[in-house]
């Protein structure tokens, strides 16, 4: 492999595309631990509306967050394609309820556009970039800003 090929390969990032609140998003594949079918969770009293409860995942209790609700969209109605995307954020593991997971995308860094409203729309950097895939703009999520102290208090 030549130096040019190595440099080009290093600029490619893989994302998993998903749907939440009827909109397209993607997260870096390196953050995803597994994708599980939706199942009922144990709810906790007095928690934020986006925190659905907790789930036992092979002996570990993890919080389950409704991604759409966390992003300020409507609460997700569980359907046949609904899944929980288990992600690692720092040293924490959490589950995100989403409407569906679509595909793995290999995106060249030059194709990622910065979020033009970042810092002005009050989302504290939840959407760090945009990428055009076919006819849709997918929003690249920064998971560390989505998992705030409310979710950390659950576990």
Q: 92-113: per-residue pLDDT in tens?
A: 999 999 999 999 999 998 898 9
Answer yes or no: are the C-beta atoms of 19 and 25 closer than 8 Å: yes
d(CA 84, CA 66): 9
> Order of strands across the sheet with 51-57?
32-37, 83-89, 92-98, 60-66, 51-57
Q: What are phi and psi of 5, to 5 degrees?
A: -65, -40
Within-domain flag for 106: yes
Does residue 70 lie within any of the structural domains?
yes
The model's pTM is 0.83
pLDDT, one tens digit per residue, over 41-95 is: 999 999 888 999 999 998 999 999 999 999 999 999 988 889 999 999 988 999 9
Nearest by Cα to 99 from 124, 63, 125, 74: 74
Residue span of the structural domain in which 147 resides: 13-154
Strand segments, DSSP code E, in the chain are 12-20, 23-28, 32-37, 51-57, 60-66, 83-89, 92-98, 100-108, 113-114, 127-133, 136-141
- Residue 4 lies inside a defined structural domain of this protein: no
How many structural domains comprise the chain?
1
Is residue 2 included in any domain, yes or no?
no
Is the residue at 52 inside a domain?
A: yes
Residue 132 in domain: yes
The reply to whether 118 falls in a domain is yes
């Amino acid at each position: 492999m030549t130096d040019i090929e190595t440099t080009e390969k290093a600029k490619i990032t893989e994302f998993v595309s998903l749907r939440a609140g009827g909109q397209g998003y993607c997260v870096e594949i390196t953050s995803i631990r597994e994708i599980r079918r939706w199942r009922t969770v144990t709810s906790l009293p007095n928690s934020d509306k986006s925190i659905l409860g907790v789930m036992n995942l092979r002996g570990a209790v993890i919080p389950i967050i409704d991604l759409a609700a966390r992003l300020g969209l409507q609460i997700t109605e569980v359907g046949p394609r609904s899944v929980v995307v288990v992600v690692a954020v720092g040293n924490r593991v959490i589950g995100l309820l989403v409407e569906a997971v679509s595909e793995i995308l290999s995106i060249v860094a030059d194709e990622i556009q910065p979020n033009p409203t970042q810092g002005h729309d009050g989302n504290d950097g939840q959407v760090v970039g945009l990428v055009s895939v076919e006819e849709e703009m997918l929003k690249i999520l920064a998971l560390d800003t989505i998992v705030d102290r409310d979710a950390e208090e659950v576990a």
